Amino acid sequence: MSLEELHLNLRNLTSDDYGQLKSLMDAVYHDIGGAWPKHTIDKLIQEFPDGQIAIEDDGVLVGVALTVQVDYDEFSNPHKYDDLIGHREIILNDQEGDAMYGLDVLIHPDYRGYRLGRRLYEARKELCRSLNLRAILAGGRIPEYHQHASELTPAQYIDKVSRKEIYDPILSFQLANDFQVKRLLRKYLPEDEQSRGYATLLEWNNILFEPAESVLDTRPTQVRVGAVQWQMREFASVEAALQQIEYFVDALSDYQSDFAVFPELFTTPLMGLQDRAAQKDQTAAIRFLAGFTDRFKSELSRMAVSYNINIIGGSMIEVGEDDRLYNVAYLFHRDGEVEKQLKLHITPQERRDWVIEGGDNLQVFDTDAGRVGILICYDVEFPELGRLLADQDMDILFVPFWVDTKNGYLRVRHCAQARAIENECYVVICGSVGNLPSIENLDIQYAQSAVFTPSDFAFPHDAVLAETTPNTEMIFFSDLDLTRLTVVRAEGSVTNLKDRRKDLFDLRWRDWSWKSGSKQED
């Protein structure tokens, strides 16, 4: 039969199909009893119509998948095929079940080689997702096992099939369709002499499943990020700077953004409120700037609540309890909570001119729009930090930055793109632009803010979701689909997080406690 002669149609099975279904089942299952009686099929169609899927070619039934709803906890444990069958060969469908159970997949012998089985499996997966069911389970026969039973145990046979050293028409097919062997079932179908009564319990896990009792607590699937490519400008007063910030927060809120993002050290033009001579003492000037931080924290927190938007407050200089200076990014939640992330790696210029110290803590922040991490500029150039955040289920990494030249910008950009790919997350970089020759150490800035994604089919071909015009003050928006992250982490072309060789290497955070002037490892 040529491909040109095929006229395939995927649809649900009906009771009128029974005559053709019986012929198909008798031909395929001649060694284990043949077809189910009509009243069994009719009852299954009545109780779970969406789960009975057929493929026809010009009205002729050529493929069928029969499915039942079950309780996951019961059927993910050892069981027998007869546990699915009640009185008078009625299949026991549990309409309150939280999983699907694959009973049969049959393909007409003349239509094998057209991947119709894969088409039926994909239809089952889509149904499982649409019904928000936990998984698809299946008891899989191993019909070629009888040829190897004298020299291999069932477990050894399964292992060799999984390594493709032996081909089994059922198990090999199921493994190729992303099913995982959960356990070996004994006496599953005693009359199945080819499998010697053994079967595999297979599972396809619905990674998008959300338990009904936690619907109100589920993470969002769509998040809108708005960012400000900030023009460094002279301000006549603190009030003028806050007015400019609030203008942008208001604009981003009008577009229903979940986040407003500002660049690193975006308040530094306030050093210009000193005269030029006072600015010559850089350590004094940066401490002068730190004196405004508490007020900015208070005002940005107010804006987050008033405009109903989470604000990544770029970063500001803070005087710590030890009277040392730190570069700190603040997360202002729209419910009023304020959290912070200190810059961990300090650049030579920050250390030399401003005597900035590095922080010693790293965390992922829970927000009402996903789990987020913050790495300030230079920190994104250290891949260990992004990986530690990814290990805490981070969805979005925010990178407020401030650089003067394009080569400095490209270091941040390329490293941020690498973090998005290797950690399968979104990365938002946000920088400042403009020239301030009248203020020491603020001569020039370069930025092209952007949103980066993993590099896979579900994302833009260049893994860049949005980017600004270089060196121009502007705001930009991007809608992030967190469901795509879930899918790429489990089913992507490559799965970087899952495929790490933890048998060869690992990564951990050293949590130091300061006691009596010495470091002690917890």
Q: Is 377 among the residues known to form the active site?
A: yes
484: tokens are: 């795509």
Q: Distances from the Cα of 45 to the Cαs of 90, 100, 137, 161, 415, in angstroms? A: 12, 14, 19, 34, 54
Angle, helix 383-390 to helix 406-423, in steps of 10 degrees: 30
Are 120 and 103 spatial neighbours (Cβ–Cβ below 8 Å)? Answer: no
On the 0-12 / 13-18 / 19+ scale of CB atoms within 10 A, 452 is buried
CA distance 346 to 340: 17
Phi and psi at residue 9, in whole multiples of 5°?
-140, 125
Q: How far apart are the first and last CA of the chain?
A: 70
The one catalytic residue in 56, 203, 264, 424 is 264
DSSP 8-class letter at 220: P
112: tokens are: 């094998």
Q: What pairing do the DSSP bridges indicate for beta strands 338-342 and 325-332?
A: antiparallel
Bridge partners of 223, per DSSP, are 480
119: tokens are: 């088409």
Phi and psi at residue 277, in whole multiples of 5°?
-65, -40
Using only the alpha carbons of the chain, give its radius of gyration. Answer: 30
Q: Which residues of 152-174 are buried (b: 16+ CB within 10 A; e: fewer)?
A: eebeebbeebeeeebebebbbbb
The one catalytic residue in 56, 128, 340, 377 is 377
Q: Is 297 among the residues known to form the active site?
A: no
The one catalytic residue in 43, 297, 340, 343 is 343
433: tokens are: 């632009």
Closest CA to 481 of 205, 207, 220: 220
Determine the Cα angle at 77 with ends 74 and 78, to 5°: 115
Q: CA dihedral defined by 20, 21, 27, 33, rounded to 10 degrees?
A: -140
Closest CA to 485 of 456, 522, 461, 512: 456
Q: How many CA atoms lie within 13 A of 266 on its CB side?
A: 30
CA distance 136 to 140: 12
Q: Is 264 among the residues known to form the active site?
A: yes
Determine the Cα angle at 301 with ends 296 and 304, to 5°: 125
Active site residues: 264, 343, 377
